[in-house]
Amino acid sequence: MQELLLTAARETIETELREAANLAERLNNDFIQACLLIQACRGKVIVSGIGKSGHIGRKIAATLASTGTPAFYVHPAEALHGDLGMITAGDVVILISSSGHAAEFRLIVPLLKALPVGIIAFTGNPHSPLGEAADYCINIHANKEACPLGLAPTSSAVNTLIMGDAMAVALMRARNFSEHDFARSHPAGSLGTRLLCRVGDIMRNAEKIPCVSDRATVTDALFELTRTGLGLVAITNADNKLKGVFTDGDLRRWLMKGGVITAAVQDAMTVPGFTLSAGQLAAEAQALFQQYKISAAPVVTEDGTLSGAINAHDIREAGI
């Protein structure tokens, strides 16, 4: 039984890979024109398919939407019962049917042409009613399904998925879609956090900022270090302008050279000290911490006013 299972799995993979390898040679002018049609579209891209084609269609729509092409999926049956109202003139519709004979599309296509909208067919039969009715036909034909009965969409489903990815990636490159663009549609992911989160979004504010006056003593700064646990204290003047920073390292160096804790903190602080701005990316701040081998920094405005503080732990907690 174990050998039977492994043999069936290997044959499935080999068949699907063999069929997928034939796709590249089917990329023709219809593929180019379909991409140009989508690129020029000022509306939406609607993907539709039934059965396994519908499941693949949902994935294609999701990939397009996350890579710069506004897109969503509509079920053909639901389209015939009201959801066609989601489609308006100027949209582009991708209809998926391996056979090209889906009954629902025979009813839908004339309605789409009357709007009008651009129609792209993903089908394994370019000479089918769907293939001939579409403006552009993308050939996803599979000579052999991996299913031993030749019935379950396997190779053809993989071909559809691959061709959808090929179209999405081609459009990404044509639009110069960047990782920053990708992050805007994935704000909750790790990439979105890294590319969108700024120092001002996660820095410590108000009473959480470790800060003492430039008239304070080393003792005062020591208490503030202990209170906040940030690893540094910002030293400011009466106008809340940053004058310097006092860190755990400054304290150790001060004591080692014989300094007393009753001395003025100005004598022991680092001037001017490393600072960040609220508008900097948190990922950039993390890189700077590593570069300069520091673990915390005050955040200041352009005129040097103290506005916050942040350390490496805060950045890690934000998921960066």
310: exposed, middle or buried (C-beta count within 10 Å: 0-12, 13-18, 19+)? Answer: buried
Which residues, including other chains, have CB under 8 Å from residue 33's CB and lie 6 or more apart? 135, 136
Nearest alpha carbon to residue 225 among 260, 181, 188, 269: 269
Contact predicate 164/28, CB 8 Å: no
Q: Kind and range of the H or E element at 96? A: strand 92-96
Spatial separation of the C-alpha atoms in residues 100 and 235, rounded to whole Å: 73
Structural contact between residues 209 and 224, judged by C-beta atoms closer than 8 angstroms: no
Residue type, 276: L
Asked whether 125 and 141 are in contact (CB, 8 A), the reply is yes
Going 79 to 81 to 83 to 85, the CA torsion angle's sign is: positive
Q: How far apart are CA 15 and CA 41, in angstroms?
A: 36
Q: What is the β-pairing status of strands 92-96 and 71-73?
A: unpaired
Question: CA-CA distance, 202 to 199, in Å (whole number)?
Answer: 6
**Does 75 show up as a binding residue in the annotation?**
yes
Positions at the binding site = 75
Positions at the binding site for Zn(2+) = 75
